[in-house]
Structure 1
Amino acid sequence: MQPVVLRIGTIWGPLVDPESPFYPIPSYISAVLRGDEPPPLHADDGGDSCYAPDAGRAIALLMTTETLRHDTYNVSSGRPAANRDFAAALQAVVPGARPGLEPGGQSGPYLDIARLTRDTGFTPAFDVAAAVADYVAWRAANPR
């Protein structure tokens, strides 16, 4: 048995607490879906996050790949996204959504997933727009 350490980034999506105080995107989307004005976010704030189905697939690949060349892997999207990206994606799928963005902010760090990609073939299937669209559709069919 080969032990592997997974450094897992911020995961969001179906089954996440929609009012989580730890990551602003789920509560932002929840406010818009309720018809409320979302809490203001700085447009350029952001960082790396991974949509839950992608994170699950990455972990499954790490569990099932026969030979891994490293003992530590980052699990995330591998790219930063700003709050403005999430707001634009939400506006595209929820007509009339107001972005609630303030100017400023800065992008945070991201996790390098090159090892994960090289050793398992993983690449995220969801960009910000696809993740937001999928999450909004999931929320429409699920009470949480």
Structure 2
Amino acid sequence: MGKLKNAMRTHFVQEFTPGQEEPGTEWLELATGISTIGDDTQEETEETAYYSGDGTPETEIISVAGAYTPEGHFFSDDPAQALIAGKKYKVGEGRKVWHKVVSSDGTKQWIGRATISSIVAGAGDASAYETFSCNIRFDQIPKETDVVPAG
């Protein structure tokens, strides 16, 4: 398989209800007005040298916090952007969503509860279109599954 465009990787969100263990089936695609999505995943590492080796420290990844940063123009009537924009002045569980990422080749998906931060839903120069951006960080390592083809 050759190179795939980033636009083929899809991102979806849906409202999180406290106590909800699994997401529902109705997803809102985060795509309208979005021109770039950065990968802001953070890894925490620990280095340890062992006597069984030559003293060179080995790096071990001890935690992974997957995150994405969509950016683009703000469309207040887009359901996914409206859901995120509506969380700007909320705290705690009010900032939670379900987040789903589908690989660009359509074979894998990652789903998990996430926290939305750094919400910008309308900002910029007076002569420019309003901007949209946020950070969507999984609260745990998301569940990876194969995508089952429709039909």
The TM-score range, normalised by the shorter chain, is: under 0.3
Q: TM-score scaled to structure 2, two decimals?
A: 0.22
Q: Which protein is bigger by CA-based radius of gyration? A: 2
Indicate the structure with greater helix content. 1
Indicate the structure with greater strand content. 2
> Bigger relative contact order, structure 1 or 2, given CA contacts below 8 A and separation 6+?
1
